[in-house]
Amino acid sequence: MPLTELTGPLGKKRAAHLLRRTCFGGTIAEIDAFALLTPAEAVQQLFDQELPDPVLPLERATGLEWITNGAVDSEEFELRTQFLAWHIGQLLGNGIEESKKLPYIFRERLVFFLHTHFTTKQSVVGNSRALYYQQALFRLFAFDSEDIVIPPEDPDDPESMETIVPKNFKQLTKKISVDNAMLIFLDGRFNVKGSPNENYARELLELYAVGRGLEGNVPESEFIGDYFYYSEEDVQAGARVLSGFTTDNTFSTIDEETGLPRGVTRGGATASSHAEGIKTFSNRLGGATVVPDDELLAGGNPTEESVIDEISQFVDILYDQSETTLHICRDIYRFFVYHQIDETLQDDIIQDMANTFAANDFKLQSVLEALLTSTHFYEAEVGDDDNNFGSIIKSPLDLVLGFMRNFNIELPEYETDLDNYYNFATDVLRTIDRLGMNYYEPFEVAGYAAYHQFPIYNRSWITTNYLTNRYNFIRGSISDGMAMEMGQVDILAFVQANFDDATASDARNLIISISEHFLPTSENLSFDTPDVGELTVERLNYFLSAFLSSPQIDPDPEAAWTQRWQSGDDMEVVANQLQSLFNAMLQSPEYQLM
């Protein structure tokens, strides 16, 4: 069954699900507001096109930005750490007005998704400015419904026309191929005629475009150097197409279409290190050819313009392959829905996504809109008990930022409180690292194992040590309000601000309401009727026991809780009980899922 649109209001469970997958979760107020929207209305809000550009990263020592001029006092490794700490603030919408915060966070989550697809490793790139501009490229293409419009060269000349440049995944693939950070990461700067470096061409074919086929069902090779959908011959021809580019360490070469820095050809305009001639691909790619454009050559020799045109032709050939759309859509599906894709799902949902992708000029937004408003995204198939709620283990990034989003924990203001901002954001990065993700430092060229490593995928986030550290993170972040530290939640103040007295004063109602907002399995919960809700009565009673077991002198713990809450007496005991409750619920396996 292809993707069909889900209509009607989302309700709390679906709203929380959508926000977990797109915005690292939501506050109680955001979940309640989205619960009243249809999926189409909610997704339309997330794709708000009128978003501000991020403030430029500021050097901690001086408070000055270093991206545009590079003149700073800090060592480069310090700048890379500060850049990553800056991006944590972008992922949380730090300093963004409330009406724009959710779409801003969603855009940054797509920047992170694109980073998982077009992988980068910050220690290999070794340049914070290159990393920033690669992110800026991802940010430009994250919301791609509107094409790039370049004004006419002479607005007063009626014959001078504006230029429309497509903004889509295919165009992004062309731009990333000459991106400075990518030229460093996959050795494109060392790829010259007569001494080809095939690293980027190989990963472009295997990871970024055509792919090797459905994981677990990869077709067998038919000859040496055959990968069924492409071959070594294509890697070699692709490397020749891509040859001759190197980095521009001054970041002064600006791409006319994106307005962002890019690499340059060795030898300047003459592109003397580029492999000349026609490049012919194997039958796996239909025997296609890349032919230098005579009008762009200079005396028959390559120029920067002719090389860029050849790269464009090569990428067009890759996107003419049906496997490219399937491969990219599998990556999208695994990131937003679930890791397991079998042949049935591929022939059904993934193929429908791929059809939407191709029919809409390879626009990421089009396929995401279809996916995030579909019945399948929320409930798998009608009548199927195995739905998509709680099907993904939260990455360390999702867990830590999701906790901060759930409790509306704000980072210090970036431009006016830089030291405290960097102290807090750097501590967030350390916490994410302790939980198993070295942010922007994936172990493999293919990226973080959770997004590509068949068959375990997101289960790679969980080991005995990492799980213990996850629970310790929760335990250390929930406070009773006494001696609060930066990043901790005053749990009593949180409950007072977010739950009405009728809910908060009833222990069972409070547990159910917390579950509805923070746990993926939260529908039809009841302490009285077994086998109805998605959490068992035994599980709910476990939370209740953890909540009310202290102080043990209460003859009727539930009545005592109600009395304390309503009277305002013994608020220190109330705070301790709430701390116990939230620790039990958020250290549960259920909270580790999204």
Residues 417-464: pLDDT tens digits?
999 999 999 999 999 999 999 999 999 999 999 999 999 999 999 999
Residue 14 near residue 36 (C-beta atoms within 8 A): no
Give the whole-angstrom CA distance, residue 593 versus residue 300: 59
**Domain locations along the chain:** 146-320, 463-592
114: which residues sit within 8 A by CB, 6+ positions away?
A: 138, 141, 142, 172
Those residues of the chain that have pLDDT short of 70 are 1, 380-387, 482-484
Pairing of strands 289-290, 279-280: antiparallel
State the DSSP string of 121-187.
-HHHH--HHHHHHHHHHHHHHHS-SS-EEEPPS-TT-TT---EEE--SHHHHHHHHTT-HHHHHHT-
- pLDDT at residue 387, rounded to an integer: 64
For residue 464 the two structure tokens come to: 């005995």
- pLDDT at residue 385, rounded to an integer: 47
- Return the SS3 of 261: strand
Residue 31 near residue 514 (C-beta atoms within 8 A): no
- Specify whether the backbone of 185 is left (phi greater than 0), alpha (psi in -120 to 50) or beta: alpha
Give the whole-angstrom CA distance, residue 249 versus residue 418: 28
pTM: 0.95
- pLDDT at residue 384, rounded to an integer: 45
Give the whole-angstrom CA distance, residue 571 versus residue 74: 48
For residue 46 the two structure tokens come to: 């997330």
CA 581 to each of CA 401, 478, 544, 573: distance values in angstroms, whole numbers, following the listed order: 21, 10, 7, 12
For residue 260 the two structure tokens come to: 């962002």
Give the whole-angstrom CA distance, residue 38 versus residue 15: 9
370: which residues sit within 8 A by CB, 6+ positions away?
A: 3, 352, 353, 356
β-pair partners for 192:
195
